[in-house]
Structure 1
Amino acid sequence: MSLPPLSLYIHTPWCVRKCPYCDFNSHERGELPEQAYLDALLLDLEQDVAITGERPVETVFIGGGTPSLMSADFYRQLFDGIRARLPLADDVEITLEANPGTTEATRFEGFRAAGINRLSIGVQSFNDGHLKTLGRIHDARAAITAAGQARDAGFDNLNLDIMHALPGQSLEQAMADLEQAIALKPTHLSWYELTIEPNTVFYRSPPTQPDSDSMADTELAGFALLAAAGFQRYEISAFSQPGKACRHNLNYWQFGDYLGIGAGAHSKLSTLDEHGALVITRYQKTRKPEDYLAAPASARRNPQPVEGTDRIFEALLNGLRLIDGISLQTVERTMGLNPAQWVPLLIPLQRQGLLTINDERLGCTPNGLRHLNGVLETLAETL
């Protein structure tokens, strides 16, 4: 039994202002405790290195919060420390999330010099009215400028995050956002519907969004526009130029392993027991930044074994997001369970035209992708 590929996730929990739709572990703060957080991250990492073994880290993703608030020197020191503790693959993909309005040209150059080779800019919209509704601190001009600065700094692997189904947004406005994004020549676009999550301002005071028919029309028009521009849809809301899919997120969706460091970060790690059987465990780090900073060496908590049908459901929860579905060989390798034991349970969904199943792969049909939440609810009841 071989272990799955390993990724590293680094969480930076601070932002300038909390957006009303955001349910991530992010906290408003002025002056950032860079040195204290750097020391905490490396202490946190040292506690987990024993679990990961000798596997090299294939991808790194720095999320938040707003990671681009931290200085380039912070990341230079961080990656020096990471490389001293963990092997990184020669072709490691290192992604940093950045928000327009928190960066300038010299900062992008510093990020690139620190070894970061992929940038994900949270634009959300190029419409100033919609940006104001979303609580963003930038305007359209700042977003366009940030994309240009990233290119000039040497980031030839660039993602832009764009939302649709915004309050008061028309189909024409949604397409204008996509057209502007495409004009900036990113290699990857994350284009997704604004969803209202619990524990957010929008959940307590929901905005009026376009109706479901309008959302469906917008999606179809957007898919056509993106395809015409050479973007391949490889996941429900992810579109890339050939060869530029996000390797980090692919590892999540294919049920690979990931080590999470930072306040509130999650990990999913596989080991082999004395009999060679696969053991999968999830962890979550201390969530509140102040508590994390106070005791980073003991941040790991709530170990949760992933066993039996939970493994099947979690693998499908992620893998069915992919347009091509998931390889049954990959599922068997990452779960340690023979597909012959559980695939027959999915035949009713295949007969309903929601899943495709063959000897090699399992995936959603186009109709299944449109109704993925319903498919997953049925799976949760079935498995």
Structure 2
Amino acid sequence: MSNTAAPEPDADDGHQASASSAARFQLPPLAAYVHIPWCVRKCPYCDFNSHAAGPSLPEDAYVTALLADLDADMGQVQGRKLSSIFFGGGTPSLFSPGALGRILESLEQRIGFSDDIEITLEANPGTFEQAKFRDYRSLGINRLSIGVQSFQAEKLTALGRIHDGDEAVRAADMARAAGFDNFNLDLMHGLPNQSLDDALSDLRIAIAQQPTHLSWYQLTVEPNTEFWSKPPKLPEDETLWDIQEVGQALLAAHGYRQYETSAYAQPDRQARHNLNYWTFGDFLGLGAGAHGKSSDRDGHIRRQWKTRLPKDYLDPSKRFRAGVKDLAQDELPFEFLMNVLRLTDGVPTVMFTQRTGLAPALLSDGRREAEARGLLERDPQRLVATPKGQLFLNDLLQLFLP
């Protein structure tokens, strides 16, 4: 990545500025997201594209559809190798090592892997089998993201989880025993009837498992979920604030640095796949309901999304792609900042040009207002939200809407 900033444009010629800086656009890294849409059962808070699995999963048919989906998207590769792969869901660990192996082999043959590729598999403690996870590791999967959510029986029951606290602890042990030295624990706070002590107890147990990464985020009630139609009793705002403040201090004291709104990592253990999202990289979206982003060498940027329902995705008479949107130039500042400002350190200002082809001067009006409100740091070399800006990120982003 170049460290040379684009020259400032003439103040009276914005079109010329865009055209000159477009030559400095750089094709971003490429990742792949693979969606496996089945779970043992649907959790009441979940608004992801996930569906309760029946007695058997259509593994072979789904992998065949995924590979056809991949073939249809090969034009987006543009000669790049994959820097990361993320198997998400749903519960991808419901699929056999053989099925995941077919997908990985095809991705490597068709696209190729970078030498230091990160390959992550999402898994739930209730679906762990020691032998299966050794097999996953032997496939080249080198990172796990384990959906713990809580270690407390009452909270797990309220969340509809199928594992208990002991299984969650054993999951971390089994990950290490299977050869995973890099894994994330997914933990929620602001749970029904949760106190500050409850939340800190969960955090302490999670830290004791010594994960390299923790995703720690507040439960939000989303439309089209059971919690939306039957809202649980959630903690008051004052308790939520205390949980956030004391919990972040606890994580920092144990060496987990916050690098994104809800992501904490040990040194050099940030999730590279997610960093690609947050730095406006490209990613193939494969599988039912998956979303993707692609760029071409001329700097045209597009988002696309796939057929959502598994039965439709598996139907050979239907198209995989459900929709596509080409991003207009006036949409790019908001789209870019919506991602990068989630990062606590932000990004170099020059990355705006490298990822969008546009001149940094196009951000000037919004930037001045954001700085005046104390939402954006006054650093011309970086785009980074202040602590206040992180708390009021939506207000900050509104200043950059087209």
Same fold, TM exceeding 0.5? yes
Determine whether 1:323 maps to 2:347: no
Q: Is the 8 A contact 2:312 2:318 kept in 1?
A: no
Letter in 1 for 2:182: N
Q: Of the candidates 84, 96, 121, which is equivalent to residue 59 of structure 1?
A: 84
Segments of 5+ residues of structure 1 without an aligned counterpart are none
- Distance 1:173-1:296 versus aligned 2 partners, 3 A rule: farther
The match for 2:6 is none
The match for 2:128 is 103
The match for 2:112 is 87
Q: Is the 8 A contact 1:47 1:297 kept in 2?
A: no
Distance 2:187 2:362 in 1: 40
Determine whether 1:169 maps to 2:200: no
Offset, 1:296: 8.4
The alignment covers a number of residue pairs equal to 377
Letter in 2 for 1:5: P
The match for 1:195 is 220
Distance 2:316 2:119 in 1: 27
Q: Of the candidates 202, 212, 215, which is equivalent to residue 240 of structure 2?
A: 215
Moved more, 91-100 or 367-376: 367-376
Determine whether 1:19 maps to 2:40: no
Distance 1:301 1:200 in 2: 23
Determine whether 1:298 maps to 2:319: yes
Distance 1:376 1:193 in 2: 21
Q: Is the 8 A contact 1:3 1:334 kept in 2?
A: yes
Distance 1:244 1:73 in 2: 28
The match for 1:8 is 32
Q: Of the candidates 367, 372, 375, which is equivalent to residue 346 of structure 1?
A: 367
Letter in 2 for 1:373: N
Say which SS state the counterpart of residue 211 (structure 2) adopts.
Answer: coil
Distance 1:60 1:361 in 2: 28
Distance 2:317 2:306 in 1: 9
The match for 2:289 is 264
Say which SS state the counterpart of residue 73 (structure 2) adopts.
Answer: helix
Offset, 1:343: 2.6
Say which SS state the counterpart of residue 191 (structure 1) adopts.
Answer: strand
Say which SS state the counterpart of residue 300 (structure 2) adopts.
Answer: strand
Say which SS state the counterpart of residue 304 (structure 2) adopts.
Answer: strand
Higher relative contact order (CA 8 A, sep 6+): 2
Question: Deviation per CA, 1:28-49, whole angstroms, max 9, x where unpaired?
Answer: 1221011111111111101111
Distance 2:318 2:343 in 1: 36
Moved more, 307-316 or 258-267: 307-316
Distance 2:173 2:253 in 1: 23
Q: Of the candidates 129, 138, 148, which is equivalent to residue 173 of structure 2?
A: 148
Letter in 1 for 2:351: T
Q: Is the 8 A contact 2:251 2:257 kept in 1?
A: yes
Q: Of the candidates 136, 139, 151, which is equivalent to residue 114 of structure 1?
A: 139
Letter in 2 for 1:2: Q
Distance 1:337 1:296 in 2: 40
Distance 1:204 1:309 in 2: 37
Say which SS state the counterpart of residue 76 (structure 2) adopts.
Answer: helix
Distance 1:343 1:206 in 2: 42
Offset, 1:76: 1.5
Question: Deviation per CA, 1:298-321, whole angstroms, max 9, x where unpaired?
Answer: 312322101222111111111111
Determine whether 1:313 maps to 2:339: no
Give the structure-2-normalised TM-score. 0.92
Q: Of the candidates 105, 117, 136, which is equivalent to residue 161 of structure 2?
A: 136
Q: Is the 8 A contact 2:333 2:400 kept in 1?
A: no
Say which SS state the counterpart of residue 110 (structure 2) adopts.
Answer: coil
Moved more, 171-180 or 349-358: 349-358
- Tell me which stretches of 4 or more aligned residues in structure 1 moved more than 4 Å: none
Give the structure-1-normalised TM-score. 0.96
Moved more, 336-345 or 371-380: 371-380
Say which SS state the counterpart of residue 242 (structure 1) adopts.
Answer: coil
Letter in 1 for 2:35: H
Identity over aligned pairs, percent = 50
Question: Deviation per CA, 1:208-244, whole angstroms, max 9, x where unpaired?
Answer: 1111111111111111100110011100110000000
Segments of 5+ residues of structure 2 without an aligned counterpart are 1-24
Moved more, 230-239 or 349-358: 349-358
The match for 1:205 is 230
- Distance 1:189-1:215 versus aligned 2 partners, 3 A rule: same
Determine whether 1:289 maps to 2:310: yes
Q: Is the 8 A contact 1:125 1:131 kept in 2?
A: yes
Say which SS state the counterpart of residue 364 (structure 1) adopts.
Answer: coil
Moved more, 203-212 or 222-231: 203-212
Distance 2:391 2:302 in 1: 31
Determine whether 1:238 maps to 2:259: no
- Distance 1:213-1:296 versus aligned 2 partners, 3 A rule: farther
